[in-house]
Amino acid sequence: MSISTMILQSPPQATDSNITIPGSKSYTNRALILAALSRTNVILSHCSLSDDSRALLDALEKCGVLVSVSNDTIEIDSSNLAPYRGGIEVGAAGTTMRFLTSFFSILPGCDVVLSGSKRMHERPIGDLVEALVSLGADISYEGSQGCPPLRIRGKKLCGGEVSLSASISSQYLTSLLLVGGEFDKGLTISLDGPPVSRSYIAMTEEVLRDFKREFRVKSDSVYHVSPRELSKQVHAYTCESDASGASYFFGAAALSPGGRVRINYFSLNSLQGDAAFPRLLERMGATVTEGKEHGVPLVEVVGPNELIAIEADMSLMPDTAQTLAVIASQAKGTTRLTGLHTLRHKETDRIHALVTEFSRLGIKTNAGDDWLEVEGTSDLVLAPIETYDDHRMAMSFSLLAFRHSGIHIKDSQVVTKSFPTFWELFGTLGVLIQEKP
């Protein structure tokens, strides 16, 4: 993939756009695992075709799953699901790494070395591995203790009860819930302490229900998944639009006085925590309207003449924290973001990356382990923006183009991790985009 810089010039007039956002990566990847374990034909519609989802598809194909992709529809035939022996490389796809760790553990006959990018090999996975090993899984570390790469030898597991810490990532719990039906006795998971990102756990519960998996939430900290019943099959599933991806387009409207962005097939009541992001913009002064047109749900955001600073707990929508931070840099006053503890363990240390880039742009910040304050300003020092191999850094900082011309986004191709068509859609907002090799 070529490395390029996007040079962004402000729109000549206030943006006025109707947008349809691609499918959610989070929904797509959960559905792909369940479809593969169904051992039948499943058609998934409105899917994400991000790098993360494609990495998962590549791994499933190596296990005998037949995959057919047409536009945003993925057809899965897993009737010949089989063990794979060899290496699997997932790049920077954290969700894929965690989901496949459990998937390969319960697939008898697998002998896989699961690896990723340099940053992936620094990201913790020990709590998930420890839980699986306690259930009888055969997993060993090929590098640093507690981090990928992993050697996984799959086998049939009995299941039963397991304790899990989900204080670093809710994806550990999701990974186990998705494969829980493959254990002979099912799986009962007791959480050791409160989990992070509960909204993503609720999403997992919804997808499990949609795939007719039998599970119970016994309490806030105890989950039980029953053995999968072959008689209960799902052959079609539609993914929701990506609420995290929508945040950049709603943010564009908020930064464009009098500008309007309407996103179709979007609801503020989605279980995606990021779907509540427009409510934060509303508190900052934007006008937010939810409705339906010809039966299609939609949300519209209109930008105010002036944005005002707020305090916001981002613990249920951590993937939009960078979006809000960039918008806050153009608001009146100092915005305080809390609940950011998971940002230290993402594609990069996102709090550090935000503080560093804001400093280079002349924007004042103050930060702690799990919080960030951003002081709004109308002044900006134009400097090329580093993206740290993080898709959300690129997409978030692109919003500055609605207030300042000449924004340079380096390594702009990183957006393909979650949103391959981002720059194409971003251009429809009126931003003038020039790609420089």
Handedness of CA 54, 60, 66, 72 (dihedral sign): negative
Residue recorded with tokens 């072959």? 230
- DSSP, res 65: -
Mean pLDDT, residues 195-214 taken together: 91
Confidence of residue 2 (pLDDT cuts 50, 70, 90): low
Lowest mean pLDDT among 14-23, 189-198, 316-325, 385-394: 189-198
Coil, helix or strand at residue 46: coil
The pLDDT > 70 percentage for the chain reads 99
What's the pLDDT score for residue 122?
94
Report which of 92, 112, 98 is spatially closest to residue 51, judged by C-alpha positions: 92
Check: CB of residue 138 under 8 Å from CB of residue 107: no
What's the pLDDT score for residue 413?
96
What's the pLDDT score for residue 347?
85
Q: Which domains does the chain have, with CATH numbers?
A: 5-21+241-436 (3.65.10.10), 25-238 (3.65.10.10)
349-369 pLDDT per residue, tens = 999 999 999 999 999 999 999
Check: CB of residue 28 under 8 Å from CB of residue 47: yes
183-193 pLDDT per residue, tens = 999 999 999 98
Mean pLDDT, residues 156-165 taken together: 95
Largest CA distance in the chain: 63
Q: Is pLDDT of 1 > 80?
A: no
Check: CB of residue 110 under 8 Å from CB of residue 132: no
401-434 pLDDT per residue, tens = 999 999 999 999 999 999 999 999 999 999 999 9
Q: Is pLDDT of 181 > 60?
A: yes
Q: Is pLDDT of 228 > 90?
A: no
Report which of 168, 164, 163 is spatially closest to residue 147, judged by C-alpha positions: 168
What's the pLDDT score for residue 3?
80
Catalytic positions, written as ranges:
319
Q: Is pLDDT of 231 > 80?
A: no
Query: In 24-181, where does DSSP find H-type helix?
Result: 25-38, 51-62, 94-105, 126-134, 171-179
Mean pLDDT, residues 268-283 taken together: 96
Edge-to-edge, what's the strand order for the sheet holding 296-302? 16-20, 260-264, 296-302, 287-293
What's the pLDDT score for residue 298?
96
Residue recorded with tokens 């053995």? 227
29-72 pLDDT per residue, tens = 999 999 999 999 999 999 999 999 999 999 999 999 999 999 99
87-100 pLDDT per residue, tens = 999 999 999 999 99
> Cα 87 vs. chain centroid, distance in angstroms?
24
How many whole angstroms separate alpha carbon 133 and alpha carbon 150? 12
The pLDDT > 90 percentage for the chain reads 91
Coil, helix or strand at residue 78: coil
How many whole angstroms separate alpha carbon 55 and alpha carbon 417? 10
Mean pLDDT, the chain, integer: 95
